[in-house]
Structure 1
Amino acid sequence: MNGRPRMLDALPAAAIFLVTLGPGQVLRGGLEVVLLQVGLVLPLVWRRRAPLTVFAVIATVAGLQWLAGVQLPADVALLVALYTVGAHATWPRTLTAAAVVEAGAVLASARWAPEGQFLLSVTALTAMIAAAAVTGTSMRTRRAYLAALERDRDQRARLAVAEDRARMARDMHDIVTHNLSVMIALADSAHYVGADAPDKVSAAVGQIAETGRQALADMRRSLAPHSDDHEPDAAGGTGSRAAGDLRRHPTPGLAQLPALVDRLRAAGLAAGLQTYGDAARIPAAAQLTVYRLTQEALTNVLKHTPPGTRAEVRIEVSPEAVTLEVTDNGTAPAAVGGGHGVEGMRDRVAAYGGTFRAGPLPAGGWRVSARLDLTATHRGTLREGSRDGSAA
């Protein structure tokens, strides 16, 4: 890796050496001219690896050249070295190097400029020195800017991954907690009725199996949203069976809320659902968020309240917003402050710039209320919707 830039630097160094060394100079100066020429040009091969050292060496050789009274076009190597210092070193060091070259320009003009043209010579050389220093510094600034953009891009990528993992963790919490709670409640119910009501046991077992299939479909959709329908599945077949399972269990939305409430009723929770407004006007991503909020709130009621508790779900839809309210009359809190469920709901609502509240009711029970703002596009909700295979 280091050899290639050195070879690239060797090519212009060789070109400068050949272009600036004329046959007349060799004939007049002999070996001394050749050595000075080599001393001025050869260090350019290492200019990017050690810019300050290379500049110091070339400046020293240029000083010896002035003392020897030898005028060489190869002094242009000083400008190349100054440009390299500006491209790789700090502003103070670049100014110091420019001051050294400027002093050399004044001395050279005093010695070799035609009579009466000292000021013109100094002005011309100063312009070239300033151009070399400014061009090098601009290149360093540009590289620093591009590096900052790359760091910002990498940071954004890391944040996006972290957000996606947090969102996936929320989904897994909602899916696993809800479906396991329902399955446990159904299993307890089947165990309680026992052999006295085989038809109820059979119905509970069927509902447990259906709940498990729903959980698998939701997990598959959340973990592999872009999988190919024809990709081999875990059983060794094609993904057509998995795709059929996803078609059987579409992306959750307001249309799936009645089925959600029915499953919770079968698990022993008395629940009611009221929806107002045209649900078809809500983006699919917002519908998914409302579904997850309702799922988590009702699951908390099922888990944390005694038997006989009743929960009511009320959803109001408008073109500007969706409001959700879940209340229960349980004697125990329907949410535990130290858990992740309430925080997950709060994060989902915050992605829409909405408001979220969860707390006890004055007369007893618990209330969860949320309002989703639909008047603006929110990055988090769009990504959530796309991950579940839906389009806003």
Structure 2
Amino acid sequence: MTVSHRTSPQAEGSDPGAPDHDWSAGAHPLTRNVERGIQWARSVDRRRPLVWDLLLTGFFVVVAFTDVAGGGWRHIAENKEADVWLVYAMTAAFSVPLLWRRRHPLAVYGVMALASLFNTWSGAVIQAALTQLIVLFNIAMRLHTRTLAWTYVLIGVPLVVGRLRYPQGGWDQQVVPTMMSFAIVALMGIAVRTRQEYMASLVQRAKQLEVERDQQAQLATNAERTRIAREMHDIIGHNLSVITTLADGGSYAAAKSPERAAQALTAIGGTSRQALTELRRLLDVLREEAPQSPQSAQSPQSSPEAAALAPQPALTDLDQLIDGVRAAGLPVRSTVRGRPDSLPAGRQLTVYRVVQEALTNTLKHGGPDATAHVEVVYGDDGVRATVTDTGGGGGPPVADSGGRGLTGMRERTALYDGTLEAGPLRLPPGGWQVVLHLPKESAQ
């Protein structure tokens, strides 16, 4: 069986997914010291895996050979007259292969299993055989469970051989305690492996949440840019169209009617100041610092100061808008049916901006003889606004102009699950019509 080599070996029981950190100040001092020691061992293992393996292997080699040289193995041996050279060879087979226990755990365990068979057959029963527990722990922590099961079965073969060759003790003395010890170590390896995988899944989940958070932030940023673009288009586009129309009319009337030219200049000044005021209010909102509390972060426009700065015209400003368009030279009739019945500010702003954009496009593309009719109807099913003009040309219609006018209107309407229809009217009489419908909030 081929065993994959880990790219960054770690100490037994280490957790590759968990970051190194100190425990909180509320933890017991002993717990903090143990955790710091574990973290130090992990850091050494990550930086110098070969050094760690050499230290661990060297420690067990020294201990095992010291036990053999001192004759300590004879106190528990079944056969105290076992050949010393065989005891030394088995000691080396149990301790030296630990150096490769992580890269080739099955090969190391195979060497140790063979040494364990000689160990029980000879009756020496040297304590260096306990190093098999370290290799079993590595197998349980890194390899498949089926491999661990076969490895565990292999442990029992030398024990059964030793029991049959030296039957002085019972099965409960020679086999059962050793098998239980190996089972506990295997369960420890499985527990550490489970914790590692769990921590790795948490780390992966945290990274995924970070990516999703960044994506949500990017989406929110794009949505805010789109909203700002709509506001800038509606404010600047409308007012510049009115100013352009007034300037053209004023220059035409300057020679024949200076009074009309002066009126046009006055209207240009008023429209410019209104546009500057709305732009300042929009920029003030953009300069506002983000709220610090979670409650205010959820509703950044909830404070009275933010609401006062927000550039949100209401339907009460519709008459002022129509008067400005009339002053620019476009005859406009208006009809209002029903009552708003506390229509939310967002819906009022949507109706206002759609009417504003429709009249702006009539000014730009309707021609010199165009007229317009604005009708706003409040009903049980919501609010409906219809803007109809009699324009016959002078430029491409809004749907074909390639600008953001119709797109902005549709985006605003979609925010409230409304519908927007815009298109030319049949000839005769011709013209253009925009129909907006926003359902009531309770109907969504």
Report the TM-score when normalising by structure 1.
0.70
Give distance in 1, aligned partners of 2:248 and 2:41. Answer: 77
Aligned pairs for 1:237-386 within 5 A: 251-279=312-340, 281-318=342-379, 320-332=381-393, 334-339=397-402, 340-362=404-426, 363-375=429-441
Equivalent in 205, 209, 214 of residue 274 of structure 2: 214
- Report if the CA contact (8 A) 1:317-1:323 is conserved: yes
Partner of 2:225 in structure 1? 165
**Cα 1:165–1:249 shift into 2, 3 Å:** closer
1:201 to 261, 273, 288: 261
In the alignment, the residues of structure 2 paired with residue 37 and residue 275 of structure 1 have an alpha-carbon distance, to the nearest angstrom, of 96
- Residues 1:28 and 2:40 are matched in the alignment: no
- Secondary structure at the aligned position of 1:352 is classed as coil
Contact map agreement 1:17 1:38 (CA 8 A) in 2: no
1:152, distance to aligned residue in structure 2 (A):
1.9
TM superposition shift of 1:337: 2.5
1:149 has 2:209 as partner? yes
CA distance in 2, matches of 1:158, 1:209: 39
Structure 2 SS opposite 1:251:
coil
- Summarize the Cα distance change of 1:248–1:123 in structure 2 as closer, same or farther, 3 Å threshold: closer
- Equivalent residue for 1:232? none
Contact 1:352 1:374 in 2 (8 A): no
Is this contact kept in 1: 2:254–2:261, CA < 8 A? yes
The one-letter amino acid of 1:180's match is L
- Supply the distance in 1 between the matched residues of 2:196 and 2:132 (Cα, whole angstroms): 20
| Residue in 1 that maps onto 2:13 | none
Residues 270 and 310 of structure 1 are in contact (CA less than 8 Å); yes or no, is this contact kept in structure 2?
yes
- 1:22 deviates by 12
Pairwise mapping of residues 7-86 of structure 1 onto structure 2 (< 5 A)? 7=40, 9-10=42-43, 27-29=66-68, 40=98, 55-57=102-104, 60-69=107-116, 70-72=128-130, 75-76=133-134, 79=137, 83=141, 85=142
Task: Report if aligned partners of 1:298, 1:326 keep a CA contact under 8 Å in 2.
Answer: yes
Q: For the structure 1 residues 119 and 367, does the alpha-carbon distance in structure 2 shift closer, same or farther, using more than 3 Å as the test?
A: same
- Following the alignment from structure 1 to structure 2, what is the Cα–Cα distance between the partners of residues 17 and 178? 80
Match of 1:241 in 2: none
Q: 1:8 to 1:81 in 2, by over 3 A?
A: farther
Task: Report the 3-state secondary structure (helix = DSSP H, G, I; strand = E; otherwise coil) of the residue aligned with 2:276.
Answer: helix
Deviates more, 1:124-133 or 1:159-168: 124-133
Percent identical residues? 32
8 Å contact kept, 1:62–1:75:
no
Q: Which amino acid aligns with 1:364?
A: G
Structure having the higher Rg? 2
Moved more, 321-330 or 71-80: 71-80
Do the aligned partners of 1:105 and 1:125 also contact (CA within 8 Å) in 2?
no
Task: Show CA shifts across 1:165-192 (max 9, x none).
Answer: 2222222222222111100011111111
What is the CA distance between 1:17 and its match in structure 2? 6.3
What letter corresponds to residue 207 of structure 2 in structure 1?
Answer: A
Q: Which runs of 5+ in 1 are unaligned?
A: 44-53, 86-93, 230-243, 379-392
Question: RMSD of the TM alignment (CA)?
Answer: 4.1
- Alpha-carbon spacing, 1:10–1:193, altered in 2? closer, same or farther (3 Å): closer
Give 1:100 deviation, angstroms.
4.0
Change beyond 3 A, Cα 1:350–1:24? same
Matched-pair contact (CA < 8 Å) for 2:93–2:111: no
1:107-127 CA-to-partner distances (Å, cap 9, x unmatched) read: 334435854538766765654
Report deviation, 1:222: 3.4
